[in-house]
Amino acid sequence: MHQSKKIEIIVDAGHGGQDPGAIGQKGLQEKKINIAIALKISKLLNHDHMFHAILTRKTDIYLSIKKRKEFFKKHHANLLISIHVDSSKKKSVSGASIWIISKNRMYREINSYLKKPSIILFSKQIENILKEHQHDIFLKKTILDLQSNDFKEIELEIAQKILKELKKKIKLHKKSPNYASLGILSSINIPSILIETGFITNILEEQKLKTTIYQNKIAQAIYLALKNYFNHLN
């Protein structure tokens, strides 16, 4: 059997199929940019023996948030990166930003899991503790809370590294990560970040986002940041 110690990264291209996501002034659809960038990131990662990238979608299909979350539950990967393009009523707004889950939302997700456990793949250590202490809700909650604090640190550090790399190549909308209660980031078994790669509603950025050069810049920045982060862990 082939023993794989690769870092597993789930790359999620937002929207797809009947759900185009945001739409630009010239009619560009967010879903198309998301998949183009996600494919580039996964290609870069899979060319590197250190990583194994898994895509939630490889083509233009519709996947609900619920379906995506079911997928995350069954894969114990090291990180989830969800790729999106931003939109705003203010057409002048531009630049990339990063989102991570709010603490409140994470606690809510942990509590609902404890009330009504479903099958979720955790790391071996966590899995063993949860199994051994099946009826100790307090201990299980403590363990999952601790894990979510750990995830938060990972998410913050990776987000900062990605922003640092992106800043060298493209414009940033916000210089530090933002917190939100986003369903796609709310899985309790995987550190998750969402990258808004630019504003489709800004006419200049809509133009840029369409180009392979710009998409490559973004994919490269994300890849380099991940390489840098996981290299320093070893």
Q: CB-wise, 21 or 177, nearer to Zn ion? A: 21
Q: CB-wise, 20 or 141, nearer to Zn ion? A: 20
- Using the contact rule CB under 5 A, the part of the chain among 10-18, 56-64, 95-103, 152-160 near Zn ion is 10-18
Q: What is the DSSP letter of 185?
A: G
Q: CB-wise, 16 or 229, nearer to Zn ion? A: 16
Strand bridging mode 79-86 / 7-13: parallel
In whole angstroms, how close is the CB of 34 to Zn ion at the nearest point? 7
In whole angstroms, how close is the CB of 70 to Zn ion at the nearest point? 19
| Contact code string over 156-195 relative to Zn ion, x by CB under 5 A | ----------------------------------------
Where do we find the tokens 């948030």? 65
In whole angstroms, how close is the CB of 35 to Zn ion at the nearest point? 12
Residues 76-105 that bind Zn ion (CB under 5 A): 84
| Contact code string over 16-55 relative to Zn ion, x by CB under 5 A | -----x----------------------------------
Q: CB-wise, 65 or 146, nearer to Zn ion? A: 65
Alpha helix positions (H), the chain? 30-46, 65-74, 103-115, 124-132, 137-169, 203-209, 212-233
In whole angstroms, how close is the CB of 31 to Zn ion at the nearest point? 8
What backbone phi and psi angles, to 5 degrees, belong to 17?
60, -130
In whole angstroms, how close is the CB of 19 to Zn ion at the nearest point? 9
- Nearest residue to Zn ion by CB is 84
Q: CB-wise, 67 or 168, nearer to Zn ion? A: 67
Cα separation, 205 vs 214, in Å, equals 10
Contact 171, 92 (CB under 8 A): no
Contact 106, 186 (CB under 8 A): yes
Contact 11, 47 (CB under 8 A): no
Collect all residues with Cβ–Cβ distance below 8 Å to 183 and sequence separation of at least 6: 65, 69
Collect all residues with Cβ–Cβ distance below 8 Å to 66 and sequence separation of at least 6: none
Q: CB-wise, 52 or 84, nearer to Zn ion? A: 84
Where do we find the tokens 């991940």? 226
Query: Which residues lie near Zn ion (CB under 5 A)?
Result: 14, 21, 84
